[in-house]
Structure 1
Amino acid sequence: MKVLPRRRRAVLINSVLGAAVLAGAGGAYAAVTGDSGSPARSGARTVAVAKGTVLATVSGSGSLSSPSDAAVNFSTGGRLTEVDVKPGDKVTKGQLLGKVDATAATETLAQSRAALTAAQANVTKAEAGQLSSAPSNGSSSSRGGSAVASAPAATPTVDPAQVAQARAQLTQAQNAVDAAQRAVDGTVLKAPAAGTVASVTAKAGDTVSGTSGGGSGGSVGGNGGSGGNSASSSAGSSSSLSGFVVLTNPSGMQVTANFSEADALKLKPGQAATVTLNAMSGKVLNAQVLSVSSLPVSGGSSSGGGSAGGGSAVQYAATLTITSPTDDLRSGLSAAIQVVVGEASGALSVPTAAVSGTGANRTVTVVKADGTAVRTPVTVGLEGDGTDQIVSGLTGGEQVQLATVSSTGNGGFPGGAFPGGAGAGGARNRGGGNTGVRTGGGGGGRG
Structure 2
Amino acid sequence: MGGLVAVAILLTSVGAYALASDEPAAPAKTSTAKVDRGEVTTAVATTGSLEPAQTRSLGFAVAGTVTTVKVRPGDQVASGQVLAEIDATDAQEKVDDAEDTLDEAQDALDEAESGDSSSCGSGSGSGSIVPAALTSATPTPSATPTPTPSASATTQAPTASPTRSTRSTAPSPSASSRTCTSRSDPILSAQQRVTSAELALAEAEEDLAGTKVKAPIAGKVLTVAGSVGAEVNGGGTFVTLADVAGMQVAASFPEADAGHLETGLTATVTLADRPGEQFAARVVQVDPVGVADGNMVKYGAVLAFETVPSDLLVGQSASVKVVISKLADVLRVPSTAVRGDGQVVVRAAAGDETRSVEIGVRGDQYTEIKSGLIEGDEVVIAGT
Q: What's the counterpart of residue 397 of structure 1? A: 376
Report the 3-state secondary structure (helix = DSSP H, G, I; strand = E; otherwise coil) of the residue aligned with 2:332: strand
1:294 is matched with which residue? 288
AA aligned to 1:65 is E
Q: 2:251 aligns to what? A: 257
Q: Deviations over 1:189-219 (max 9, x none)?
A: 222222233333322222222229xxxxxxx
Q: Any idea what the Cα deviations from partners look like across 1:106-151, whole Å, max 9, x if unmatched?
A: 11111111222222233344445679xxxxxxxxxxxxxxxxxxxx
Deviations 1:162-210 (A, max 9, x none): 5444333322211110000111111122222222333333222222222
1:320-339 aligned at under 5 Å gives the runs 320-339=303-322
- Residue matched to 1:197: 221
Partner Cα separation in structure 2 for residue 313 and residue 122 of structure 1: 73
AA aligned opposite 1:255: V
Residues 251-282 of structure 1 show CA distances to partners (whole Å, capped at 9, x for unaligned) of 11111111111111111111111112234434
Shift of 1:334: 1.5
Partner residue of 2:211 out of 187, 192, 195:
187
1:45 & 1:368 partners in 2: Cα distance? 14
Indicate the SS of the match to 1:259: strand
Q: Give the direction of change, closer, same or farther, for the CA distance of 1:339–1:126 in structure 2 (3 Å limit).
A: same
Give the aligned partner of residue 240 of structure 1: none
Do 2:77 and 2:220's aligned partners in 1 also have CA atoms closer than 8 Å?
Answer: yes
Q: CA deviation at 1:63?
A: 0.9
Sort the Cα spacing of 1:167 and 1:295 in 2 relative to 1 into closer, same or farther, 3 A.
Answer: same
The answer to whether 1:245 aligns with 2:239 is: yes
Query: AA paired with 2:272?
Result: N
How far residue 79 of structure 1 moved from its aligned partner, in angstroms, is 1.3
For 1:209, the equivalent position in structure 2 comes to 233
Post-superposition CA distance 1:378-405 (Å, at most 9, x none)? 2x33220132112344221112345679
Tell me: CA distance 1:124–1:294, structure 2 relative to 1, closer, same or farther (3 Å): same
Would you say the 8 A contact 2:343–2:357 is kept in 1? yes
Question: What does 1:106-185 align with in structure 2 at a 5 Å threshold?
Answer: 106-127=92-113, 157-159=180-182, 160-185=184-209
SS of the residue 1:246 aligns to: strand
CA distance in 1, matches of 2:77, 2:352: 73
Structure 1: gaps spanning 5 or more residues: 1-40, 132-153, 213-242, 302-311, 406-447
Q: What TM-score, normalized to structure 1?
A: 0.60
- Measure, in 2, the Cα distance between the counterparts of 1:196 and 1:112: 37
Alignment partner of 1:314: what SS? strand
The corresponding residue for 1:271 is 265
Q: Secondary structure at the match of 2:195?
A: helix
What's the C-alpha RMSD, in Å, of the aligned pairs? 3.0
The residue correspondences of 1:349-360 to structure 2 (distance < 5 A) are 349-356=332-339
DSSP-derived class of the 1:329 partner: coil
Offset, 1:328: 0.4
Q: Which structure has the larger Rg over C-alpha atoms? A: 2
* Structure 1 residues 289 and 401, CA gap change in structure 2 (3 angstroms): same
Contact 2:67/2:87 (CA < 8 Å) preserved in 1?
yes
Q: For the structure 1 residues 404 and 194, does the alpha-carbon distance in structure 2 shift closer, same or farther, using more than 3 Å as the test?
A: closer
**Pick from 283, 288, 296: which aligns with 1:313?**
296
Which amino acid in the other structure matches residue 245 of structure 2?
A: S
- Distance (whole Å) between structure 2 residues aligned to residue 329 and residue 381 of structure 1: 40
Distance 1:246 1:42, change over 3 A: closer
Q: 1:375 to 1:203 in 2, by over 3 A?
A: closer
Partner Cα separation in structure 2 for residue 372 and residue 59 of structure 1: 35
Q: Which has the higher contact order (CA 8 A, sep 6+)?
A: 2
Amino acid paired to 1:116: L
| d(CA) in 1 for partners of 2:235, 2:296 | 42
The unaligned stretches of length 5 or more in structure 2 are: 1-26, 118-175
SS of alignment partner, residue 59 of structure 2: strand
Asked if 1:343 is matched to 2:326, the reply is yes
How far apart are 1:87 and its partner, in Å?
3.3
One-letter amino acid of the structure 2 residue matched with residue 288 of structure 1: R
Label 1:326 to 1:164 Cα distance change in 2 as closer, same or farther (>3 A): farther
Task: Note if contact 2:246-2:308 (Cα within 8 Å) is conserved in structure 1.
Answer: no
Residue 105 in structure 1 maps to residue 127 in structure 2: no
Give the equivalent residue in structure 2 for 1:50: 36
Aligned to 1:373: 353
Match of 1:70 in 2: 56
- Report the counterpart of residue 281 of structure 1 in structure 2: 275
Pick closer, same or farther for the CA change 1:324–1:74 going to 2, 3 Å.
same
Give the conservation status (yes or no) of the 8 Å contact 1:80–1:101: yes
| Partner Cα separation in structure 2 for residue 391 and residue 123 of structure 1 | 90
